[in-house]
Structure 1
């Protein structure tokens, strides 16, 4: 039976790729998950693994051809990779366990593709060790990218016979993680070679700009020529250090000089600790997610002309509405009526009136978004993530609450994918759930606005000439002053306040 090899999904907005190189030729034997061909996009290179074991029957496209997602690449004739061993004669002794191991080809577990623009990951915690028996879909290891953590499941039941990457190693999609001998009672190889192999891999991966004989990707070569640059000036992030189009874009944005490096966060000399203090200290490796959070927040401060404006909102109308309808709402829609639905809806109404807050700067252009993809900041034990409620302006409050609930569960369970966190146009951050009374949120670049919600606290306020006690919340809008004027920012926040203090405006679309 022939199994088709097709171009996999390459990430959001990526619809085509170029055939970089074939690792096999027709007639070659292949194992399941063995890399067959390398595809190149303008963002990343991806290795396509064999969907089954057998013989590569044919190749439909040649190196240099451009193919679309889902296009046929070739076919594998299953079961033809190796001839079945001759049956043992009846008078011969039963095969030994080592012979059985040889006949059962180990299954290689490789680093999966993590999505658009994600070219590497860091090996986190291993949940198994050499010699452990595993079941199909058991979690083997956790990989950390700069966007999220990803668990790698076992493709088969069997025994772990080799671990190729140590915790802390940097790996790329397609790199070998471990090998599993399928079936029970498989013999175990000595773990020492695996550890030795993993050890040199880490320094090599951490090298900032390894030399490479790989020519730049075609799209990168074109841009290098347009910008008058040489490949030596750009650090490649592709396979074997290949320079990709995204690398050239990043280099041009940084000015390709020593200045960007000098502007990086300075390394502050650590004050020496006394011997009695050192034994009470704990050094913990910073995850790639936390490193990315730190870098992106600092970049936002360095790049945008960030300013924050404040206001306060009387939450009594929304709280009364929730109290009156929360039981009916939950019974009908199967989700609790929270505050985020009201805030998200109020934000989308204000964005329609003040489109600059929903725009972003691209060079000397302003890109106005005629849609509202609202990011909702969620704190997890691994760091802050911002999943996206897409087309929130077209959703009802019930639909928004359901989507926020689904994204929140996925975030806490570590199940968020790249598509869940890309493409946001505006962000809402709710520090009030932790008790924050007031703060100045930092922009989620390249967005131009972020709304900070805070704790609801009863305060005396003057209303109609009288002092009354009302449940009040401070609101903070941080915005990029390069694109949003002060008048627009203040007006936006006032519109959010008006919608929350008079929720009927949301229903009537006022």
Structure 2
């Protein structure tokens, strides 16, 4: 007896999701807790695990289809055994019939749509999926290879003008179209929303990184041995931000209609890059965290983001954000505030520059800092004071330890 396979229950802030990849096809068996399908939402990708051993009987939501929270996406039969032929038998049948498993009947509706869009015959592509099934990566690889310039033929004895050469000798012009992911679309929507709904300004300052770099160089080996995590720069900036947030509560606040919400805690979002776009997981109650705990939290989020394992709870909330564009080589930028927060700190590339120190020109490792803020709530004086506080705390790290 077939049982409905349902999408997970999404959080209240997520209305629906999109079926990204089916890892099983009708007739294929699976084991309990094995991933059957992936569903992408505005924030994260949910993996739907098999509730029991069984066989997938029917797919009701194909790749690319929209599914509601808890909605039916297919049917399976618990405890059943797959009736599909073994791999050897399947290959024998393919050889006898003269067709490969990568024919038009062996592709999902989403792949078939992609093939039709680019006018590609499925028989030309060798599938890398199970039983030779064609997956999206196979199609994109074929398209890329097709668009690569072809080797020029041997030159004939008589010269040819460019106008008489065949298109193959000149290479092909190529365009590739693919739908924007839900995460990327949501990021775009929120950035535009922030620009439209905020009176956003950015103030800049610069910081001498030599004291922090010297401190890190002196203690990084002992720190790693003691805490089993590397000592980076982010933990210092997050820690300094927390101290500054306590001194300037408006920067840690948010606007709700005509009300101002002041938070007694500091939950700091740390912008990290993932294969699906920029995400901002949140470190909770950072005021109670040591530098080692901050570094461990950032590393864990980075690993989760890289493998697509960030959970919805990891990214909910946050009262302030720290973004480090310097890891990509950015010298200066104006970060965009992540609503409903009212400010974001942007770190940048460390670069040696000549600086005047006590009447002498000294080469120092300098970093530009940027604070973008919502001027509806935060005055320029508060914003500048906040950034100067971070500068003072980091140029004299003893202040972080002594609470000065």
Q: TM-score range by the shorter chain?
A: 0.7 to 0.9
> What is the CA deviation profile of residues 152-180 of structure 1, one whole-angstrom value per residue up to 9, with x for unaligned ones?
12222332221111111111122112223
TM-score by length of 1: 0.61
> What is the CA deviation profile of residues 176-203 of structure 1, one whole-angstrom value per residue up to 9, with x for unaligned ones?
1222333453447xxx9xx99xxxxxxx
Aligned match for 2:34, one of 133, 138, 161: 138
Separation of aligned partners in 2, 1:355 and 1:331: 36
How many angstroms does 1:331 deviate by? 1.2
TM-score by length of 2: 0.76
> 3-state DSSP class of the match of 1:112?
coil
Separation of aligned partners in 2, 1:397 and 1:148: 28
Match of residue 331 from structure 2: 437
Separation of aligned partners in 1, 2:354 and 2:254: 39
RMSD: 2.1
> What is the CA deviation profile of residues 72-129 of structure 1, one whole-angstrom value per residue up to 9, with x for unaligned ones?
xxxxxxxxxxxxxxxxxxxxxxxxxxxxxxxxx3343210012232221111122222
Structure with the higher fraction of residues in helix conformation: 2
Match of residue 19 from structure 2: 123
Aligned match for 1:114, one of 10, 22, 28: 10
Q: Does 1:296 align with 2:190?
A: yes
Q: Does 1:175 align with 2:87?
A: no
Separation of aligned partners in 2, 1:466 and 1:132: 75
> 3-state DSSP class of the match of 2:365?
strand
How many angstroms does 1:151 deviate by? 1.6
Q: Does 1:391 align with 2:246?
A: no
Q: Is the 8 A contact 2:23 2:36 kept in 1?
A: yes
Deviation >4 Å, runs of 4+: 276-279
Separation of aligned partners in 2, 1:157 and 1:424: 40
Match of residue 495 from structure 1: 389
Separation of aligned partners in 1, 2:80 and 2:273: 41
Separation of aligned partners in 2, 1:421 and 1:439: 23
Q: Does 1:483 align with 2:368?
A: no
Gaps of 5+ in 2: 85-104, 110-169
> 3-state DSSP class of the match of 1:445?
coil
Separation of aligned partners in 2, 1:485 and 1:186: 66
Gaps of 5+ in 1: 1-104, 197-275
Q: Does 1:347 align with 2:241?
A: yes
Aligned match for 2:227, one of 330, 333, 344: 333
Match of residue 466 from structure 1: 360
Larger RCO (CA within 8 A; separation ≥ 6): 2
Separation of aligned partners in 1, 2:278 and 2:200: 20
How many angstroms does 1:279 deviate by? 6.5
Matches within 5 A, 1:48-447: 105-183=1-79, 185-187=81-83, 280-447=174-341
Separation of aligned partners in 2, 1:505 and 1:456: 22
Check 1:398–1:431 CA distance in 2 against 1; reply closer, same or farther (3 A cut): same
Q: Is the 8 A contact 1:159 1:185 kept in 2?
A: yes
Match of residue 18 from structure 1: none
Separation of aligned partners in 1, 2:320 and 2:349: 21
Separation of aligned partners in 1, 2:35 and 2:174: 33
Separation of aligned partners in 2, 1:326 and 1:116: 43
> 3-state DSSP class of the match of 1:325?
helix
Separation of aligned partners in 2, 1:279 and 1:124: 29
Q: How many aligned residue pairs are there?
A: 323
Q: Does 1:452 align with 2:346?
A: yes
